[in-house]
Structure 1
Amino acid sequence: METRSNHVLVGAVVLILLAMLALFTVWMARLNGPSASDYDIFFKQSVDGLAKGSTVTYSGVPAGQVKQIALFKQDPQFVRVRISINDDIPILRGTTATVQSSFTGTSTIELDGAVKGAPPIVCPQQNRHAACPLGVPVIPTKVSGFGAVLNSAPKLFERLTSLTERLTELLSDKNQASIAGILENTDRLTKALADRGPEIAATLAQTRIAVKQAGDAAEKIGDLAQTTNGVLSSDVKPAMANLNKAIQSAQKSMDTLNGTIQDARPGVKTFSDRTVPEINQLVHDLRETSESLKSIAQKVNQGGATSILGPQKLPDYKPKDSKQ
């Protein structure tokens, strides 16, 4: 019994020592290896092919690995991926993360876009919870070209399906018969045009001649317009100058006449106030004189010149003889 107890005790001590040695080795490996920092990435796209332990690269250079993948409880449309990045990799402002998918099924996280001289990505002192909801710095994301293609693949397949259905409807038996009729009519029209080729050529030639004649007529009209402009410039302008001179002379005459009328206005007023009434009286007297002379003339015509000297003497009355 004592021998067995000693063996068990010795075995337990040996196992403990081996465990301690393993822990010491791991601790020493960590001390000798590069230190790492944790970052969170919130993807709104699918992260198919990404798993714990997947590689994280920075511009193609291995930089760390994925530590955890989970839905973000505060907003389940985001997938939270926590990564561990070696401290010798500069994670500066401007750095973005993308999921690089492949047809083999495995995916990696690609980091790039850091700006030279920019500060590192850290959790700020102010508004820390909003910037770092889980206590570690957050690296923003961007959609890669291949990832965008994969994300839009369902919509693309749906559109391809719809296009296929429409093509099937377009190429139905009825539509094929209609297309065949259209092609047949097109063939007939082509043959008819070929048969009428000489007539069409002649028509085109006549059209070309008509266009040329129209061009010549337009050119002649232009020359006529220029000639008309020259005539107007050479003949009408002197006439207009003479007309302007005549108008100016007439204007001067009108000004002189106005001055004369202004000068004569006082005399005209005196003539109107004095002379005109006297003339009226004279006309009245002449009218009365004329009436008197007319009356005398009538008396002379009727009774002779003696009628104006006195009344006409009656003849002596002689009584008739009674015998008679």
Structure 2
Amino acid sequence: METRSNHVLVGGVVMGLIVAVIAFIIWLSQLSGEDTQRYDIFFKQAVDGLAKGSAVTFSGVPVGQIESINLEPKTPEFIRVRISVRSTTPILQGTTATIQGVGFTGVSQIQLDPAPSGAPPIQCPETDPLSQCPYGVPVIPTKPGALGQLLNSAPELLERVSTLAERLTELLSDRNQASIASILENVQDISRSLADRSPEIAATLAETRTTLRQAGVAAEQIGQLAGTTNQMLNQDGKPLVQDLRKTVQSAERSLAALEQTLNETRPAMNTVATQTLPEVNILVRDLRATSESLRSISEKIDRQGAGALIGSPKLPDYEP
């Protein structure tokens, strides 16, 4: 009788514990279901390090976990990751998701970056919800993270590194090395020549300084001379200018008087030119003819005597 009562007590305690555990599990499941919100994230990159149950953080604060990771048969370049986060997480329009590595373990998690304050929450539209929510839950847009950008740009980076290595190889070829060595030798020769001629260069610089100093003094003297010339022109030049003006005015008056005189004598000069000068020419011709006649008479008297003017000339005697 006593053994039977012990078995009943143990069985009752075990059954009570089982019921309590089941009730606790149900309570947790109900609490978890009411306190979470599901979102889809479409990554156009590899999701290495992510797995079902991986953490989801919002600005570094854990807010949920990954529920599933699925391939998209129609669009194989995308990978759909469904997450569940607490409903109190401010998932607003402008919130973005990135893949962030956790240390050097190879494990990754999803990092949610906050949106500007005041933005509306991300929700499926009432009209045509499949356009923005193809699987019935809102979609959080992605933003390439540092690791994703590095992985995506790795081929281009490797190509650039390879090109750079080829160019360095061409630059450091034997021919270019010989050219560089020759250039360095020439530079060394030039520096040695400059070092040898440093006294001459110093003397040239000293002469240049002296020349510049003398040029400055000469410029100052020229300035003083210009000031003196301006002063002389302003003080002594004014009387000369006034005398010159008076002389010019007198000359203008003389020219006016001469012009008036010429205007008055022009009729008399016209008369002389038209009447007197032709008569004088005739008189000169008559006088020239008279002088020629007188010259012929005088020559005749000289040869034949005064009788030549009265009778005829005497014939010479004839001798047989």
Shorter-chain TM band: 0.5 to 0.7
1:297 matches 2:294: yes
Amino acid at match of 1:137: P
Change (3 A) 1:161 1:284: closer
* Cα distance in 2, alignment partners of residues 148 and 253 from structure 1: 100
TM value normalised by structure 2: 0.65
Q: CA deviation at 1:123?
A: 3.1
Aligned position for 1:42: 42
Q: CA deviation at 1:79?
A: 2.1
Aligned position for 1:282: 279
Q: CA deviation at 1:27?
A: 5.7
* Cα distance in 2, alignment partners of residues 264 and 80 from structure 1: 123
Q: CA deviation at 1:232?
A: 4.5
Change (3 A) 1:297 1:216: same
Change (3 A) 1:224 1:171: closer
Deviates more, 1:32-41 or 1:44-53: 32-41
Aligned position for 1:68: 68
1:142 matches 2:143: yes
- SS in structure 2 of the partner of residue 107 of structure 1: strand
Q: CA deviation at 1:138?
A: 2.1
Q: CA deviation at 1:216?
A: 0.5
Q: CA deviation at 1:59?
A: 1.5
Q: CA deviation at 1:231?
A: 3.0
Q: CA deviation at 1:45?
A: 2.2
Amino acid at match of 1:55: A
* Cα distance in 1, alignment partners of residues 55 and 282 from structure 2: 147
| Aligned residue-pair number | 280
Q: CA deviation at 1:78?
A: 2.4
Aligned position for 1:56: 56
Amino acid at match of 2:63: A
Change (3 A) 1:141 1:265: farther
CA contact 1:46–1:151 (8 Å) conserved in 2: no
Task: Map residues 1-324 of structure 1 onto 2, 5 A cutoff.
Answer: 28-33=27-32, 34-102=34-102, 103-124=104-125, 129-153=130-154, 200=195, 203-235=197-229, 238=232, 241=237, 252=249, 255-256=252-253, 259-260=256-257, 263=260, 266-267=263-264, 269-271=266-268, 273-303=270-300, 312-315=309-312
Change (3 A) 1:73 1:294: farther
Change (3 A) 1:231 1:126: farther
* Cα distance in 1, alignment partners of residues 265 and 220 from structure 2: 59
* Cα distance in 2, alignment partners of residues 253 and 75 from structure 1: 112
CA contact 2:56–2:65 (8 Å) conserved in 1: yes
Deviates more, 1:68-77 or 1:115-124: 68-77
Change (3 A) 1:169 1:254: closer
CA contact 2:91–2:114 (8 Å) conserved in 1: no
Unaligned runs of 5+ in 1: 1-17, 306-310
Amino acid at match of 1:42: F
CA contact 1:123–1:132 (8 Å) conserved in 2: yes
- SS in structure 2 of the partner of residue 67 of structure 1: strand
Amino acid at match of 2:117: K
Amino acid at match of 1:62: P
Change (3 A) 1:286 1:134: farther
Aligned alpha-carbon RMSD (Å): 4.6
